[in-house]
Chain A
Amino acid sequence: MSIDYSVYLAKERLPHLWCPGCGHGIILKNMLISMAEMEIPREKALLACGIGCSGRAGDYVNIHRFQGTHGRTLAYVTGIKMAHPELKIFCFMGDGDCSAIGIGHLIHAARRNVDVTAIVPNNLNYGMTGGQFSPLTPGESLTSTSRSGKAEPDMDLCRLAAEAGANYVARTTIYHVVEMKKRFIEATNNKGFSLVEVITPCPTYYGRYNQLGNAHKMIEWIKDKTVPLHKYEEMSVKNQEQHFWRGKLVEKHKPDLYTRYWQHERGMDHRA
Chain B
Amino acid sequence: MMNKDNSIKFLQGNEACALGGITAGARFFAGYPISPASEIAELSSLLLPQRGGIYLQMEDEIASIAAVIGASLGGMKAFTATSGPGLSLMQENIGFAVMAEAPCVIINVQRFGPSTGVATRPGQADVMTTRWGTHGDHGIIVLAPTSVQECYDLTIEAFNLAESLRTPVILLTDATLAHLREKIVTRTDKELSIISRQKPDQVTEDYQPYRPGPDGVPVLPDFGDQNILRVTGLIHDHDGYSTPKPQTAGDLVHRLQQKIEGATSLMPAPRYFGSNDPEILIISFGISARSAREAVNRANDQGIKARLMQLPTIWPFPEEAVRYACYGASAVLVAEMNSGQICREVRACGIQREKVVGVNRADTAVITPGEILKAIKKTWFRWGFHPI
Contacts of A44 in B (CB 8 A): 224
Near A by CB (< 8 A), chain B positions 28-86 give: 28, 30, 49, 52, 54, 56, 58-60, 62-64, 66-76, 78
Interface residues of B in 280-302 (CB under 8 A from A): none
What is the chain A residue whose CB lies nearest that of B203?
A43
A68 touching B233 in the complex, CB below 8 Å, given contacts A76-B66, A108-B58: yes
- Measured between alpha carbons, how far is A56 from B70 in the docked complex, in Å? 19
Per DSSP, chain B at the interface is mixed
Of the candidates B54, B58, B222, B229, the one whose C-beta lies within 8 Å of that of A75 is B58
Is B74 in contact with A80, judged by CB distance below 8 angstroms? yes
Q: Does B198 contact A (CB under 8 A)?
A: no
Structural contact, B52 and A105, CB atoms closer than 8 A: no
**A46 interface residue per 8 A CB criterion:** yes
A144 CB-CB contact with B under 8 Å: no
Q: Contact: A108 with B240, CB < 8 Å?
A: no
- Contacting residues of chain B (102-128) with chain A, CB-CB under 8 angstroms: none
Minimal beta-carbon separation of B21 from chain A (angstroms): 16
Tell me the complex Cα distance, A270–B49, Å.
9
- B330 contacts chain A at the CB level, 8 A cutoff: no
Contacts across chains A and B counted by CB atoms under 8 Å = 132
A42 x B228 contact (CB < 8 A): yes
| Minimum CB–CB distance for B50 against chain A, Å | 8
Decide if B188 is an interface residue (CB 8 Å cutoff): no
Contact indicator A78/B70 (Cβ below 8 Å)? yes
1/0 contact string of B339-365 vs chain A (CB within 8 Å): 000000000000000000000000000
> For the complex, what is the distance from the CA of A265 to the CA of B48, rounded to whole Å?
10
Q: Which residue of A lies closest to B232 (CB)?
A: A67
Q: Does B251 contact A (CB under 8 A)?
A: no
Structural contact, A62 and B54, CB atoms closer than 8 A? no
B63–A105 touching, CB < 8 Å:
yes
B49 touches A79 (CB 8 A): no
A76 to B67, CA, bound (A): 4
- Chain A residues 33 to 54 lying within 8 A of chain B, measured CB to CB, are 42-44, 46
* Contact present for B28 and A86 (CB under 8 Å): no
Query: In chain A between 232 and 272, which residues have their CB closer than 8 angstroms to a CB of chain B?
Result: 261, 265-266, 270-271
The answer to whether A67 and B28 have CB atoms under 8 Å apart is no
Interface presence of A231 (CB below 8 A) = no
One of A67, A83, A87, A271 near B233 (C-beta < 8 A): A67
Annotate B223-235 by CB proximity to A: 1 below 8 A, 0 otherwise: 1111111111110
**Beta-carbon contacts of A69-91 to B below 8 Å, as 1s and 0s?**
10010011111111110110000
Q: Is B23 an interface residue (CB 8 A)?
A: no
Distance of A100 from chain B, by nearest CB (Å): 14
For B96, list chain A residues within 8 Å (CB): 68-69
Q: Which residues of A contact B264 (CB under 8 A)?
A: none
Shortest Cβ distance from residue A52 to the other chain B in the assembled complex, whole angstroms = 12
- B224:A78 contact, CB within 8 angstroms: no
Q: Is A19 an interface residue (CB 8 A)?
A: no
B233 — which chain A residues lie within 8 A by C-beta?
67-69
Chain B residue, CB-CB nearest to A83 = B74
Tell me, in angstroms, the Cα distance from A59 to B96 when the chains sit together: 17
Kindly provide the distance from the CB of A101 to the nearest chain B CB, expressed in whole angstroms. 10
CB distance from B241 to the nearest CB of A (A): 6
- Judge whether A72 and B49 touch: CB under 8 Å: no
Task: State whether the Cβ of A18 lies closer than 8 Å to any Cβ in chain B.
Answer: no
Contact indicator B230/A65 (Cβ below 8 Å) = yes
Contacts A72-B66, A105-B59, A266-B49 given; does A82 touch B28 at CB 8 Å:
yes
Other A-B pairs beyond A64-B223, A67-B242, 11, CB < 8 Å:
A64-B230, A65-B232, A65-B240, A67-B231, A68-B66, A68-B96, A79-B66, A83-B28, A265-B49, A266-B49, A271-B52
13 contacts between A and B (CB under 8 A): A13-B241, A43-B225, A44-B224, A46-B224, A58-B230, A65-B230, A72-B62, A79-B67, A79-B69, A80-B74, A81-B70, A261-B49, A266-B49
- Nearest 8 interchain pairs by C-beta: A79-B70, A83-B74, A79-B67, A75-B66, A75-B63, A79-B71, A265-B49, A76-B70
Q: Which A residues are within 8 Å of any B CB, using their own CB?
A: 10, 13, 42-44, 46, 56, 58-59, 62-69, 72, 75-84, 86-87, 104-105, 107-108, 261, 265-266, 270-271
